Amino acid sequence: MKLQDKVAIVTGAGSGMGKAIATLYAREGAKVVVSDINEEAAQTVVQEIRTNGGEASVLLANVAKEEDVQQLIGQTVSKYGTVDILVNNAGIMDGMEPAADITDERWEKVFAVNTTSVMRTTRKVLPIFLEKQQGVIVNIASAGGLHGGRAGGAYTASKHAVVGFTKNTGYMYAEQGIRCNAIAPGAVATNIGASMTGINPFGAGRQQQGMAINPRIGTSEEIAKVALFLGSDESSFVNGTVITADAGWSSY
């Protein structure tokens, strides 16, 4: 039990990588807050966890809204007394638009979900972590946060920002027992593609060229194992960095 009695919040936990992380965390002894914008999906995950003997609860949240973030952290503390691990997994794609075709609306929506939410949840849990001089943050970045051709301009910029924010947070609070790391998944089989609308043909065509060197598609469960490592004491000396999980795609 690598996370025995730890209290973990996982955003976007109703499906995909978030679901896999929440499920694995619960299996390893954590009390998991399954947060998602889709109540039915979140309830299904919680039921599966409970059926397998784990402890979990649902807290609905649209991470793009500050009031939802406040309630998410506040209600978790009210229910479990504290927060030990925060996993910022919620995210959306853009439409593969290059810079000339990005609209303000798309840019602002992608950044609200992918980047601003990470700052807000982190800002809200830090007083809790600082009080006990202990806490872990795991951000789900992307290969798109390390390279330029994995998505459109808005998504790429938003995930680069997450990487920078992760490194800054890890460094700033390293002496207070707080660790902040990120995972940069490559191509993983999830339903994030459902968030893509109005796909840009030019941008998608440019992005597609790199898929030819992708060794394979990953699974959510494979990413969850990395998140377990980062969330547990096994990674006690790992801080302010990004673990790339892409089967070697970016090694070329």
Q: Which are the catalytic amino acids?
A: 155
Distance CA 142, CA 162 (A): 9
CA-to-CA separations, 182 to 44, 173, 198, 223, in angstroms, rounded: 27, 15, 29, 11
H helices present in the chain, as ranges? 16-27, 39-51, 66-80, 104-111, 117-132, 153-172, 201-208, 220-231
Cα separation, 86 vs 37, whole angstroms: 17
Cβ 78 vs Cβ 52: under 8 Å: no
Measured CA to CA in angstroms, residue 53 lies from 56, 73, 182 at distances of 10, 24, 29
Q: Is-contact 128 83, C-beta < 8 A?
A: yes
Contact predicate 115/68, CB 8 Å: no
End-to-end CA gap in the chain: 37
Q: Are 94 and 30 in contact (CB under 8 A)?
A: no
Planar angle of CA 27, 31, 34, nearest 5 degrees: 90
Exposed, middle or buried, 119 (CB in 10 Å: 0-12/13-18/19+)? middle
